Amino acid sequence: MKALTFGLSALCAICVAGISTAEELVITFGGDVNFNRTHQSPSPNKVSKNGRSWTWPELTAKIAPLVDGDINFANIETVIADKRLPTATKRFVFSTHSNAINHMIDDLNFNLFSLANNHAFDHAWAGYRSTLDFVDATEKAGKDAVFHGVGLRADNIKPALFEKKGKTFAFSAIGILTDPYPASDTRPGMLSFRKQSDFQAVIDGLKNTEADFKILSIHAGTERMSGLNGGQRERWRKAAEEAGIDLILGHHPHVARPVDLHKNSLIFYSLGNYLMIGAADMDKLPTGLDYGMFGRVFLSWDDENPKPQITAVEVVPLRETEAQARPMTVKESFPRIDYLNRLNAHQLGNVNLIFDVTEKGAGRACLGKTYGPRAKDLCEVQTAYNWPNAPKATLLTFAPRKPAVTKPQKAKKKPNAWANFNRKKKKSRVKKTADRGR
């Protein structure tokens, strides 16, 4: 009997040892971030706007609970500088004190940053240098933070590599370059998304890099337009296929755009604003164009399938992104998630990613794969929120412009018959006088 018991125990031990336990990793992300209004000098401890002031912890208090991933991404849409610098010839010019970005890293655990955007060169070459000085200081301090998108040309082509939970991640960033501040072999700058040779170089860099999971940040797209730009879907999908990119994070339009699951690639065509003090109040736009998109992606892998796979996607609509950004309530979220689903169908055609709304107000899309603990809670524990008669917003792919202000026209005077008679009589006398002088 003892021998039988021992045999069963040994067999069970072998069974347990043979069970493949799924590992999980969570990525969080949002779109554009800056901590200052245009042409303001950077403050070391607070930001002021429209008569209100917040310290860095006060400003970020409402989004801080969301930033809970192993990898937490943001697009830094500003020069990082501790003093006022000479400006480029631009209407909107942003600079953010290094203390604000350090707050993101040290207090909120942000650790992945894109620097490639149209405000990276707001202070021309001096701005590039100031931002890179901060990056260098962060690396020397041994902080857990990865940056990409501003540097020498070769540095911008080569992806940044980092490890999390034993997996290698490759990350690249590219944006629109509207002023003459390109990267070269000897001078740091940016590569331009609009220049096909630059974009292809970044894609080739990712393609030729060995990594378990590849992420690309793209800063491009017409502002306030939730529909896709012409050729955007085909161009981004082609890049994902060619380089084996797992996750593309788009931003710049300041509004949310469709979310696309193309083969094994997840594409966010625009996340909108995250926390953008220098932006306008987007809450005033029509429903569907009035929110920023915070996202979470859940990855899992095991011994049999070592490649990290996306198992679930979560999106949280954000309000007040131009001030103290906050997640929307479930009643606020529901019409926006519904809008996103209809926008996906309208812009992408065959939709393979549909979000329902959870009791917490987030949109979720579960892909039916082996879930880690957090994805399991999202997909199997949290209940769906149902609102049968929820209002449906009109599908607008572009924010309506304000009508042009026209000056009221003065009413035309009625013709005076006697005045016309005198005018004709005068012309006749002038003509007769001219004839006599010939």
* Residue 332: pLDDT band with limits 50, 70, 90: very high
Which pLDDT tens digit goes with each residue over 378-416? 999 999 998 888 888 899 887 776 554 445 555 555 555
CA 295 – CA 315 distance, rounded (Å): 4
Backbone angles phi, psi at 225, to 5 degrees: -115, 115
* Residue 368: pLDDT band with limits 50, 70, 90: confident
121 pLDDT exceeds 80?
Answer: yes
CB 215 within 8 A of CB 385: no
Stretch 114-135: mean pLDDT: 97
Name residue 48's beta-bridge partners.
Answer: 53
429 pLDDT exceeds 80?
Answer: no
Residue type at 10 in one-letter notation: A
Q: What global pTM score does this model have?
A: 0.87
Stretch 429-434: mean pLDDT: 48
pLDDT of residue 3: 44
CB 366 within 8 A of CB 378: yes
CB 96 within 8 A of CB 131: no
Could you tell me the two tokens for 61?
Answer: 């208090």
CA 354 – CA 366 distance, rounded (Å): 9
Could you tell me the two tokens for 34?
Answer: 């800056």
pLDDT of residue 250: 98
Taking the mean position of all CA atoms in its chain, how far away is CA 6? 58
Which pLDDT tens digit goes with each residue over 289-321? 999 999 999 999 999 999 999 999 999 999 999
Which long-range contacts does 230-233 make (Cβ < 8 Å, 24+ apart)?
232/269, 233/260, 233/269, 233/347, 233/348
Tell me the average pLDDT of the chain: 89
pLDDT of residue 4: 38
CA 344 – CA 364 distance, rounded (Å): 14
Q: Is 126 exposed, middle or buried (0-12, 13-18, 19+ CB in 10 A)?
A: middle
Give me Rg for the CA atoms of the chain: 29
Could you tell me the two tokens for 438?
Answer: 């010939």
pLDDT of residue 1: 44
CA 220 – CA 44 distance, rounded (Å): 30
pLDDT of residue 402: 58
Strand 112-114 relative to strand 326-327: parallel, antiparallel, unpaired? unpaired
362 pLDDT exceeds 50?
Answer: yes
19 pLDDT exceeds 50?
Answer: no
Count Cβ neighbours within 10 Å for each residue of 146-168 and write b for 16 or more, e otherwise: bbbbbbbbeebbbbbebebeebe
In the chain, domain spans: 22-381
Q: Is 129 exposed, middle or buried (0-12, 13-18, 19+ CB in 10 A)?
A: middle
Could you tell me the two tokens for 318?
Answer: 């954000």
DSSP code of residue 381: I
β strands within 22-102, DSSP E: 23-34, 46-49, 52-55, 71-76, 79-80, 95-96
Query: Degrees (nearest 5) of the Cα angle 357, 362, 367?
Result: 70
Sign of torsion over alpha carbons 328, 249, 39, 140: positive
pLDDT of residue 166: 97
pLDDT of residue 108: 98
Could you tell me the two tokens for 11?
Answer: 């067999």
Which pLDDT tens digit goes with each residue over 138-184? 999 999 999 999 999 999 999 999 999 999 999 999 999 977 899 99
Sign of torsion over alpha carbons 190, 195, 198, 203: positive
Q: How many residues does the chain have?
A: 438
pLDDT of residue 83: 95
Asked if CATH classification 3.60.21.10 holds for the domain at 22-381, the reply, yes or no, is yes
Q: 3-state class of 319 per DSSP?
A: strand
Could you tell me the two tokens for 55?
Answer: 């310290």
Q: Strand order of the sheet with strand 265-268?
A: 160-164, 167-175, 213-219, 247-251, 265-268, 259-262
List C-alpha distances in Å: 220 to 36, 175, 180, 199. 21, 6, 17, 12
Which pLDDT tens digit goes with each residue over 243-276? 999 999 999 999 999 999 999 999 999 999 999 9
Which pLDDT tens digit goes with each residue over 75-110? 999 999 999 999 988 899 999 999 999 999 999 999
